[in-house]
Amino acid sequence: MRLTVFGATGGIGQEIVRQAVAAGHDVTAVVRDPARLPVPLSEVTVHTAARIDDPEGLREAVAGRDAVLSGLGSRGRKAGGITERLTGSVIHAMEAEGTRRLLVVSAAPVAPKPADDPLLDRMMLKAIGAILKEVYADLTLMEGALAHSATDWTSVRPPKLTNGPLTGKYRTVYGSNPRSGRSISRADVAHAMLALIDDPAAVKQGVGVAY
């Protein structure tokens, strides 16, 4: 498949690029600094973008692609609306080019809470939500933008991210989160995103992923 990856030098983005190249996909990586890519530049098409918040500058990167995958997100507690703004630019570029399939990274606390989650898990999510309130508010707005877009979107919602290895063994739940799902590696989030590209049940859905 012809894939474009945003946030290609971030933790999840690097894993998407690495795994997509290994699987034989035609990958375009949208980056500010190509030197930070996890694979040799000869193995990907590099689209250098000084500004991700300029939809016109992104159109070439998304034109004619089978899917766009985004690892864009805040790097700290002060989100400042960055994920909503940058993802909005990607959406506008895709709509202008007629590119449909979009998969993005969100977070477990944005999803509806499972009614059967143990009390301890609910308390943990509440505490984390208080610490990262601005980040999750930004992600909620991003998901609102997805819902109003013309794209065939999927929002992948992991809990705590780790730097653990790729296992390919995790749980997925459509519209909610796996019960008592507390962590997942960035490598497995990337694996899930690639696996969900062709899954019609994941279109216009939030998908919880966790061990």
pLDDT at res. 208: 97
pLDDT at res. 73: 85
Q: By three-state DSSP, how is residue 184 classified?
A: strand
| Alpha-carbon gap, residue 108 to 206, rounded angstroms | 9
pLDDT at res. 125: 66
Question: CB atoms < 10 A from the CB of 107, how many?
Answer: 26
| Alpha-carbon gap, residue 171 to 156, rounded angstroms | 12
62 in Cβ contact with 71 (< 8 Å): no
pLDDT at res. 128: 63
Q: What is the dihedral of CA 8, 10, 11, 17, to 10 degrees?
A: 10
Q: Which domains does the chain have, with CATH numbers?
A: 2-210 (3.40.50.720)
Q: By three-state DSSP, how is residue 47 classified?
A: strand
The stretches in the chain having pLDDT less than 50 are none
pLDDT at res. 99: 98
Q: Which residues contact 191 (CB under 8 A, 6 or more apart)?
A: 15, 19, 166, 168, 170
pLDDT at res. 118: 72
SS3 content of the chain, % helix, strand, coil (to 5): 40, 20, 35
Beta strands in 111-203 (DSSP E): 152-157, 160-162, 171-174, 183-185
pLDDT at res. 112: 76
Burial of 162 from C-beta contacts in 10 A (0-12 / 13-18 / 19+): middle
Which pLDDT tens digit goes with each residue over 115-140? 666 766 666 666 666 666 788 899 99
| Alpha-carbon gap, residue 158 to 155, rounded angstroms | 10
pTM of the model: 0.92
